[in-house]
Structure 1
Amino acid sequence: MTAVRDVFSPAALGPITLRNRVIKAATFEASTPNALVTDDLITYHRLPAAGGVGMTTVAYLAVAPGGRTEGNQIYWRSEAMAGLRRLTDAIHAEGAKISAQIGHAGPVANARSNRATAYAPVRFFNPLSMRFAKRATREDILDITEAHAQAARMAIEAGFDAVEVHLGHNYFASSFLSPLINRRDDEFGGSLANRAKVARGTVLAVRRAVEKADSPIAVTAKLNMSDGVRGGISTEEALQTAKWLEEDGGLDAIELTAGSSLVNPMYLFRGDAPIKQFANAFKPPLRWGIRMTGTKFLREYPYRDAYLLRDARLFRAELSLPLILLGGITNRETMDLAMAEGFDFVAMGRALLAEPDLLHRIQADSSVKSLCTHCNQCMATIYSHTHCVVTGSPSVVSSGG
């Protein structure tokens, strides 16, 4: 019998080695008011790095100005490089690795705050930006694909150890995978094989860029197992897409996720639905609209430990590629369960937001439970400064360039 992995043992991820198998998941930091690295952003990632994670993931580094979900997010350009290098140096000083989540938000992009065109498989209305996304042409798709490759090259230059290609949550690649959103009748629509071309092409473009570098980095992807909406990406189609990605050979691991930023975000964020707090993050009339219709957008799903495990088991049974289990991993028991089920890594989000030093506490006492209450009020703070409303973490410092 194969020995069960110890979650706190070192582990290879492609060409790099993490000091343990725990990854800080990408959670938008709201710490970049000028689309540049700040001291706040560095603190946000330095704290869990000092707290013992194997790798922290910076979210979200857009591959183009129009690929941001809002205008203050960092996008890859020369002006951002010095700050990004300062960030990676700070994480390395704590003994952790650092990954850059790269992607294009597609129909989720806020064209109003970005002051740039958003793209989608078809013309698509984003109610949060009150703008339409443009139907992407073949040339637009190729440009966005190449932008991912350029982002990977810049990530290497900035000192990142890995990139995570965003293929989830109905962002650009994910929106093409979705039969609900993608109603095209050309080479990028219709069959799953056609709808998967954007995701597969993007990953391979990133892989080719990384392989040409003097210092290769790891390439992972965040992939939806399901959108959680009728007519969206199904688990069956997602599994087939994952098999194709494995066959293509472009990835060192897949992080399994779920939900749609457009229509059902709570399918990923199980627990309380913070409708009032979410509404208050916006100005009227959008605030009033969210209060009146919020239960349709922020549907409530009961929290349970390892809540994505049931679907993730289907992927573990069919794939040999390393897999990262996300969702309700908050204590030693769920970490050990993930290892026993054959997953290679676990990813933690809200629990580390509440307690950046949680891993050190768990290592000292395996019975420790997370302080996260799954109230999800942190979701509303992404429009100001992401933090846990229960514990106040992470600490806030004055912003700097």
Structure 2
Amino acid sequence: MLLHLALRRLIRHGTLTVRYPDGTERRYGTGGEPAAAMSIRTARALRGMTFNPALALGEGYMDGEIAPEGCSLFALLDLLVMNLEAGGTHPGERVMELWRMARRRLDQLNPARRARRNVAHHYDLNGRLYALFLDRDMQYSCAYFRTGRESLEEAQAAKKRHIAAKLLLDRPGLEVLDIGCGWGGMAITLARDHGARVTGITLSEEQLAAARRRAAEAGLSGRVRFELMDYRAWTRPVDRIVSVGMFEHVGIDHYRRFFTTVRAALKEDGVALIHAIGRSDGPGATNPWLAKYIFPGGYSPALSEVLPAVEKARLFVTDIEILRLHYARTLAEWRARFAGNRDAIASLYDERFCRMFEFYLAGCELAFRRGGHMVWQMQLARRQDAVPLTRDYIAAAEAPGRVAESA
């Protein structure tokens, strides 16, 4: 059996027990902890796990053809990821990874029409779904845990303060462009707490409607507006640009266009802050299950793939910060809230959808906890002197907000 041979090579730490479709049970690894078990219930799932496990494991779990036994889904995935990161190999997956690398530029082609369709796939879901596992401000990106003891709400508020500080909002009335504005939380915060005038752009009709409603409810419609617009359509210079969790949807073929658009949209003394998921282990390809079911056209780049495009756009990198385990903590919070509201989410969709989201949240958490994924924040400017000489201004700008929140 080919899968049996593959698992013998893969599992070198801990113990994995597998029950095959014919009832046979086999054990792999050291016999010690950590331990997990799974049942492969159909011949179709067995074939998938043999030849394309990165896709088949998630599909099998969604369809009930693969199931954890005596452990949680997270524990099962944790054991598998641990062994993959330790150098274990699956011959079928190695071949498929080479194929994915060969065609990744094609997979990431995101002209405006396709980009809109890809965004709708994930972000135009029922808005109540996201309200059931995100924080109160609907921040669907990495939070910022200064100590690790914060609640999700506190950490997301800290993330917004941290980004606002890097935007150098040192006077009221600065005009900010928010590329990929989500449900409007960042734009509303910049207007309310920092006196900025903000335009948020998105390709999601669901997010657009929610953001406009929230701005009106906050009494900020005069300072914040939202538009259904592709970033490539923006033509007017602004003082500041912020983009949080959108760059992963740009596509590697479009990086140069993205940064030339940023440069053209910045005034001469302007500052931009890009916050995105990246990979610390070099260029790769998007997991096929994630690309098919969660983020079509999405890719989290290595900085070595991003910086050449920044250089060609003639932008200065004035600051880069790497957030390592912050997203793992964020995803753990989302996963716990999703589990606590699972019945309500199932009533919106169905059991298969719940399994899909459980697999997504658990797998992504492990990508940050054990794999090579991280978050980078890159501050950019057209001029070297657009920001102070040292980073001291960031902490100074954050301090009043932290004191107010503590009070």
**Which of the two has higher C-alpha Rg?**
2
Shared fold (TM-score, shorter chain, > 0.5): no
Q: What is the TM-score normalised by the length of structure 1?
A: 0.35
Q: Which has the higher helix share?
A: 2
